Amino acid sequence: MNITSLRAAIRAGGVVAFTGAGVSEESGIPTYRGTGGFWTSYDPDKYASIDYFQQDPSYFWAFFRDTRRFLIHEAKPNAAHKSLANLEELGLLDAVITQNIDGLHQAAGNKHVVELHGSYQKFSCTKCDAVYPLAHIEREIEKPLPPQCIECDSVIRPDIVFFGEMLPPDKLEKAYQLASQSKLILMIGSSLVVYPAAQVPHVAKQSGARLAIINLEPTPLDDFADWVFHEKAGIVLPELLEYLT
Ligand code: APR
Ligand code: ZN
């Protein structure tokens, strides 16, 4: 099926988008698994797993210090984020469910965003109730790592989901609810190999939704989809919008 029929499906409403690292690639943020992806130079078992964080948090914090410029400082919403914000503004997109922690959907103007993996906007103490904004962490990572709580000296952690941790149940439930109530789900820029990204399309289809995959490289769910575009999200999404209204 082609882009014209996808436009018609979008006009019919009930659209939900699910995004992964690929949607931010054109903002200069490396993906995780693709060429040049974070996990090609940092072993996620060491730099992003809860087990290792509990053993030695300095690895994660070094990863954060070395990569935060991509995720936080230099990144601006790209054409893909802006198109999704326009869709929501037009009343044609109910919500964005994202695995990304870069906050770029909100920066583009989307109001209904479910951040399944948390974000780098908030940090908290691993022992007490203290929470810290990013600005505080920025100062702390100039000092020896890991950053420590002012109240109790314990290690500070980001409010993101590490490998080996459960996803926040309320957000996960919201994501499945949105997927099962949608008439069309757009899976954009995700390799669809990590749970729940691999599961959401099944849930949506089982509830009668149609599925569109927009991803540079093939995914394991391509055969299962009603539309597949192996193209950059920043090209496909603006093209979709062009003749939509
Ligand atoms: N437009 C569309 N797709 C793109 C683009 C682009 N400009 N650039 C890359 N891609 C595709 C790649 O082909 C790849 O299949 O985006 C996909 C990104 O896949 P991953 O790196 O696996 O990212 P994601 O699916 O979001 O990873 C899920 O795994 O490591 C964890 O917590 C991390 O949230 C992340 C999760
Ligand atoms: Zn504390």
In a domain, 49, yes or no: no
Task: Measure CA 218 to chain center.
Answer: 19
The span from the first CA to the last CA of the chain, in angstroms, equals 20
Residue 107 near ligand 1, beta carbon < 6 Å: no
What pLDDT score was predicted for residue 36?
86
- Is the pLDDT at 23 greater than 90? The verdict is yes
Provide the residue range defining the domain that includes 84.
1-28+75-117+167-245
- Is the pLDDT at 203 greater than 90? The verdict is yes
Report in angstroms the alpha-carbon separations of 112 from 48, 91, 106, 128, 236.
Answer: 27, 12, 8, 30, 22
Residue 191 is which amino acid?
Answer: S
What pLDDT score was predicted for residue 186?
98
Count the Cβ atoms, other than its own, within 10 Å of residue 83. Answer: 26
In a domain, 212, yes or no: yes
How many domains does the structure of the chain reveal? 1
What pLDDT score was predicted for residue 244?
87
* 227: β partners: 212
- How far does residue 138's CA lie from ligand 2's centre (Å)? 18
- CATH number, domain containing residue 217: 3.40.50.1220
In a domain, 59, yes or no: no
- State the average pLDDT over residues 31-39: 88
| Cα–Cα nearest to 145, from 21, 243, 61 | 61
In a domain, 152, yes or no: no
Task: Measure CA 198 to chain center.
Answer: 14
- State the average pLDDT over residues 36-49: 93
- How far does residue 163's CA lie from ligand 1's centre (Å)? 16
- State the average pLDDT over residues 46-75: 90
Q: Which atom of ligand 1 is nearest to the CA of 190?
A: 25
